[in-house]
Chain A
Amino acid sequence: MTVMEQRGAYRPTPPPAWQPRTDPAPLLPDAEPYRVLGTGRADAADPELLRRLYAELVKGRRYNAQATALTKQGRLAVYPSSTGQEACEVAAALVLEEQDWLFPSYRDTLAVVARGVDPVETLTLLRGDWHTGYDPYEHRVAPLSTPLATQLPHAVGLAHAARLKGDDVVALAMVGDGGTSEGDFHEALNFAAVWRAPVVFFVQNNGFAISVPLAKQTAAPSLAHKAVGYGMPGRLVDGNDAAAVHEVLADAVRHARAGGGPTLVEAITYRVEAHTNADDATRYRGDAEVEIWKGHDPVALLEQELTRRGLLDDDRIAAVRQDAETMAADLRARMNQDPALDPMDLFAHVYAEPTSQLLEQREQLRAELAAEAEDEAGAGSGPGGTQR
């Protein structure tokens, strides 16, 4: 049977024969976001996994702080921080197997780094020395996507292609709550469901799209409910509960891998920082709200759980923090070096072979640069130099 035939064949439906195409009940999300930490389920959670998540969360938070500091030093053009959302970021990377693919948005640098991509290469886009700094094929991470939700159909196509080739590949695609209003969100979910593509759509509902709260974005009961309209299961999870996010995403990945098709996961979380360093969040929200969310902090929640179960002592906490500091120091040191830029690169990758028009323009820039260099050399050599 071909992949396409698995969708079920065309069958005529004379008027009285109408039935729902799928039973909606099993697709509905739970009434409450799924939680593990601080519930009876916590005891069953794998200690090794919890420790791993904890180490990554601490590192992730440190990464966000370091990257934000780099914007202040002028080393990054802009940084959209995921502080407060680290549980989502880390879990998204950890649930994937080596051969799987991650499709991140601009806010998901942590997930990209947790997947193994070099932290400095991850920041290329935000430093501005190129767009995508890493090789997408090395760790199977698509470029950080800035046009909202446009990465979602890519994930569907890639997962579909892998399935056509008989490869065991799942694609996990990340998007924000605002991004769910985009047409590409709808089209991607619809294609994925129709094709039964092995995709997990992971929405981080962090409360805001820049300044716009979710209430102005949707009238749906929840974003997870949207899944039902496409004929795929929707899951709702506490996005600050790393164990819960990991479990729900891992379930969805398993379901996709087994041929069950896509899942939409909505994680309820909160963007603690402004949209980016360039944004002023006081124009649209109060500190009190932020403080409430800080009381439901993903790092603290996991730390409490690990401490309660005796899986974390001061030495271990110190070691984890030391690791994070080492990572930050390395990031700082490397980001403080000026990137090597070659203006000729501008023309190198527009097409497989530059067109004759681009070759002409490249020569023009080369001549301009040569003249500039000559001017500088001349200006340096005293009165004979050209002054402008």
Chain B
Amino acid sequence: MTTVAAKPATMAQALTRALRDAMAADPSVHVMGEDVGTLGGVFRITDGLAEEFGEDRCTDTPLAEAGILGTAVGMAMYGLRPVVEMQFDAFAYPAFEQLVSHVAKMRNRTRGRMPLPLTIRIPYGGGIGGVEHHSDSSEAYYMATPGLHVVTPATVPDAYGLLRAAIASDDPVVLLEPKRLYWSKDSWNPERPSAVEPLGRAVVRRSGRSATLITYGLSVPVCMEAAEAARAEGWDLEVVDLRSLVPFDDETVCASVRRTGRAVVVHESGGFGGPGGEIAARVTERCFHHLEAPVLRVAGFDLPYPPPMLERHHLPGVDRILDAVGRLQWEAES
């Protein structure tokens, strides 16, 4: 095999490559969804797959999300590995009943006899100037549904690795794709894609000693930027990219918080009933005696996703993160 050096690639390209490699490696992998065939998907993630593998393997379905997921369940029952594309976060909701009542439960209700190896790809989150219903962060719904894995990449190599791992998993996986990062670039070698890590491992994106920012998906680059800016204030921030919300990597997160003694959870999804509450509780329960300050949350406001001209006020940005870091009771230290 000729080796190609690492060069800039987008997250979208890495996702496409992951689908293509998975389809080439395993004839039971089938891609299905709205506009995924001829068009290659509205975000072009399935670009070229129908051409390469035929319409039977990359299928434009009728426009009905419950039907897409429901038929994918039947296909998985028969031994296929469907990869379903939901066109947008807020348009995955019609499939919710299939997801909760069947996808998440089938293995359990049949005592493990009927596992459903299927992947549900959902572009999510805001900051793209999208009009109503195109910018939801819906991860809390999925996290609250036992039986699903919920993962979200923040980098180009992780997009590849997590999608391959999701497709290879014998459990259903909801892969939340941070659509704002689709066109973000990273240096990546498609001939030697990152090793496919087991689902469920967080990673320390940036080491630091002062406090830990616990985050995922869209908010990872924002936290990285905040960590850089924090240096001016004299804070050396660690950034943990969860990658997987379910299962949750208590080990990596707690090891970091025990080192730094302070933590802020950052996500776009609303704070009330959002992932941050669960994460803060877990950290507090496990690291209480290492904490110098309460675990704080920086989240989207508790409102329906705002219209595009107002969304910047809603999204957690560098300043709001630094404000939270500033409230971590530093004075107690001196």
Contact = CB atoms under 8 A, between A and B. Distances in A.
Given A147-B97, A153-B71, A161-B78, A184 B108 contact: no
Contacts of B70: 150, 152-154, 156-157, 184, 187-188
A387 interface: no
Given A150-B70, A153-B67, A191-B71, A162 B78 contact: yes
Interface residues of A, number: 46
Contacts of B73: 153-154, 157
Contact of B149 (A4, A156, A349, A351): A351
Interface in B87-123: 94, 97-98, 101-102, 105-115
B75 A183 contact: no
A135 interface: yes
B250 interface: yes
Interface string A199-236: 00000000000000000000000000000000000000
A123 interface: no
Contacts, number: 150
Contact of B64 (A135, A160, A187): A187
A184 to B, nearest CB: 6
Contact of A357 (B62, B69, B112, B247): B247
Interface string B70-88: 1111111111101000000
B334 to A, nearest CB: 37
Given A158-B75, A160-B71, A357-B248, A136 B56 contact: no
B200 interface: yes
Nearest to B79: A161
Nearest to B56: A2
Contacts of A158: 74-75, 77-78
Interface in A342-364: 345, 348-352, 355-357
Main SS at interface, chain A: helix
Interface of A: 2-5, 130-132, 135-137, 142-143, 147, 150, 152-162, 164-165, 169, 171, 183-184, 186-188, 190-191, 194, 345, 348-352, 355-357
12 contacts: A132-B113, A147-B101, A157-B73, A161-B75, A161-B78, A184-B97, A187-B67, A191-B62, A349-B107, A349-B108, A350-B147, A355-B247
Given A154-B73, A184-B67, A187-B67, 8 more contacts: A4-B59, A132-B109, A132-B111, A136-B77, A153-B70, A191-B64, A352-B107, A355-B200
